[in-house]
A = this chain, B = another copy of it.
Amino acid sequence: MPIVEIKGVGFFDAKESENLLTLMRRHGVTLPAGCGGLGLCGMCRVRVVRGTLTAPTRREIEILADRLEEGWRLACQAQVISDTTLEIPAARREATKARVRPPVRITPSALFVPVKVESGEPSYEEELISSLRTLGVHATQLSLSALNSLAQRSSGVAVIVEGEVLDVCDTYSGYGLAIDVGTTSVAASLVDLVSGAITVERVSLNAQLKYGSDIISRIRYALQEPEGTARLQQAVIETVNRLLEEMGARAEKVYRVVVAGNSVMLHLFFGVNPRTLGFLPFRPLYRRQMRARGRDLGLAVHPDAHVVSLPILGGYVGGDVVGDILSADLSGYDKAMLIDVGTNGEIVLKKGDAYLAASTPAGPAFEGVGLHSGMMAVEGAIEKVRVLGAREIEYLTIGGTEAKGICGSGYVDLLAELLKAGTLSRDGRLLDGPHVKEVRGVKAFVLDEERGIVLTQLDVRKLQLAVAAVKFTAKYLMKVSGVNVESLEAIVVAGDFGYHLNPQNAMEIGLLPKVDESMIRYIGNGSLTGAEMYMLSDEARKMAEVLLAKCRVLDVPREERDFISELKLSW
């Protein structure tokens, strides 16, 4: 089989009669292709420096014309015959992204196809649909705004999402918005629908925080205030709109939105009262993928944008966990565990083909909320701590700037280091020692006196409860399915704080079982990554359906005696 070298990118095997675009997608090399590989938009052009390809197609001759002689080809049309060297124009190569997304087979999630209506026969819509059909593009109707575009113009680029022409516009460009709605923070990223690349990503506190910091207080607010559900919905929509603004998104070019989030967050995002999640048996009103239009929700995106959610698996195991599972890609393991440490913690255990899941109200401690010096994992947050002997304390902040507070991974380090230094007992008492003082009447470990950054006894209790909740739930799932720590092949840690986590310290405090460090993987915000995958890949969408049908969600019986025994800071 011939080898294709893409300059500055790498060497790749070609399959028989595989065109260049398919080859690049198979290897995760992103290249824009607005029309989905039909040879219509000319965006996937590459320059051949060396080698033999199949003869130019009619589409290539039409679109490239003179440039064919200079070696330009359309990647979607040309097939490799001999070893070949290519150049991709620098401007077309996408920046690599910060978060790890497992290799997904990108299926066109929006098509951009040039169209022209002439006769308007028997209606403009029908002529457009039928001209798309002759190009091999399936669409059944035009959205309201596409109809209104067509009232003003007779040609342009049709933007097609899920078989609907959403827009008729000027440019071969469009974006998808992936959102992870957490109880405490909301993360979002903009995906270039042409290339599949992530262009920008932001995180912000959820404006719902003004109605209470945990899920229960949100449910209570929705129940007790007449417009409670609507106000909570408005708060999260405002948060997302602010993120869109910060990311510099042009509203009218955002055609798809995929939302992940826990069960309560998803109910509220779509304006569904989360009441049933507040009472026994704690079941969601719905589990399926919800669908809406941009305008229905007041999102600053295209008014007809398709907004969909990841399904809820059951109870408090929501679309965020579906996202985690998609991005954790557990398919290669027989026995593996996924842990998402959020305000609502979730554990998934895979055993063979079976998925078992449960949730636990861990509280927002590891998101830095409710702790004396706690903060989100953003610039200025202390993410790593070392206590050297009696006197010296070393810490690192995110971005290397002046310390403003402590984020989740910093707290994990701090607890572990204090345990090892003997300043903290396994049952969570701060002992007398260097840097331990009374701060406004409460015992506290002073990390940075000048900046007032401390760990109080109360902080330790909150962190201890969060660790116990996760540990208790993980142990329960393992017990039910007869899987022990020794037989686990992998532990995947989801959640933003995983990035900066010191695995030895996480094991030290009992947040993770003691295993070989190489078994532990961090996927960061798997919920957001999963939302992106769901937007880009048919396979991911199918997997989500499989999980909805097959993943078993367990209620964890909270025997008080057992739970209290898990408060000890070790596995």
Contact = CB atoms under 8 A, between A and B. Distances in A.
A273 B121 contact: no
Contact of A272 (B144, B273, B274, B288): B144
A275 B553 CA distance: 54
Contact of A150 (B121, B123, B148, B285): B285
A569 B63 CA distance: 62
A151 B287 contact: no
A476 interface: no
Interface stretch (A4-12, A276-284, A411-419, A518-526): A276-284
A117 to B, nearest CB: 9
B126 A287 contact: yes
A124 B281 contact: no
Nearest to A121: B283
Nearest to A292: B144
Interface string A146-165: 01101110000000000000
Contact of A275 (B151, B229, B283, B312): B151
A119 B284 contact: no
Interface string A258-291: 0000000000001111111000010111111000
A55 B45 CA distance: 77
Contacts of A285: 123-125, 142, 147, 150-151
B287 A144 contact: no
B144 A283 contact: no
Nearest to A151: B273
Nearest to A283: B120
A124 B229 contact: no
A124 B273 contact: no
Number of copies: 2
A122 interface: yes
A141 interface: yes
A314 interface: yes
Contacts of A122: 283, 287, 314, 553
A283 to B, nearest CB: 4
B151 A121 contact: no
A287 B128 CA distance: 13
Contacts of A120: 276, 281, 283
Nearest to A154: B276
Contact of A141 (B119, B121, B147, B288): B288
- State which size class the interface on A falls in: 35 or more
Nearest to A125: B286
Contacts of A271: 144, 148
A123 B314 contact: yes
A274 to B, nearest CB: 8
Contacts of A152: 273, 275
B125 A288 contact: yes
A296 to B, nearest CB: 8
Contacts of A126: 286-287
A309 to B, nearest CB: 13
Contacts of A270: 144
Interface in A230-277: 270-276
A312 B124 CA distance: 13
Interface in A96-148: 119-126, 141-142, 144, 147-148
Contacts of A283: 119-124
Contacts of A273: 147-148, 151-152
A85 to B, nearest CB: 49
A91 B519 CA distance: 75
A141 B147 CA distance: 28
A275 B150 CA distance: 10
Contacts of A296: 296
Counting chain B CB atoms within 10 Å of each CB, which of A119, A275, A283 scores highest? A283
Given A270-B144, A281-B120, A276 B125 contact: no
Nearest to A293: B296
Contacts of A123: 283-287, 312, 314
A288 to B, nearest CB: 7
A151 B121 CA distance: 48
A357 to B, nearest CB: 12
Contacts of A121: 281, 283
Contacts of A125: 285-288
A148 B144 CA distance: 27
A164 B284 CA distance: 19
A288 B126 CA distance: 9
Contacts of A229: 148
Counting chain B CB atoms within 10 Å of each CB, which of A122, A148, A150 scores highest? A122
Top 6 nearest A-B pairs by Cβ distance? A120-B283, A151-B273, A125-B286, A151-B275, A123-B287, A124-B285
23 contacts: A119-B283, A120-B281, A120-B283, A121-B283, A122-B283, A122-B287, A122-B553, A123-B284, A123-B286, A123-B287, A123-B312, A124-B283, A124-B284, A124-B286, A125-B285, A141-B288, A147-B272, A148-B271, A148-B273, A150-B285, A151-B274, A151-B275, A152-B275
Interface of A: 119-126, 141-142, 144, 147-148, 150-152, 229, 270-276, 281, 283-288, 296, 312, 314, 553
Given A125-B286, A148-B271, 15 more contacts: A119-B281, A120-B276, A120-B283, A121-B283, A122-B283, A124-B276, A125-B285, A141-B288, A142-B285, A144-B270, A147-B285, A148-B272, A151-B273, A151-B275, A152-B275
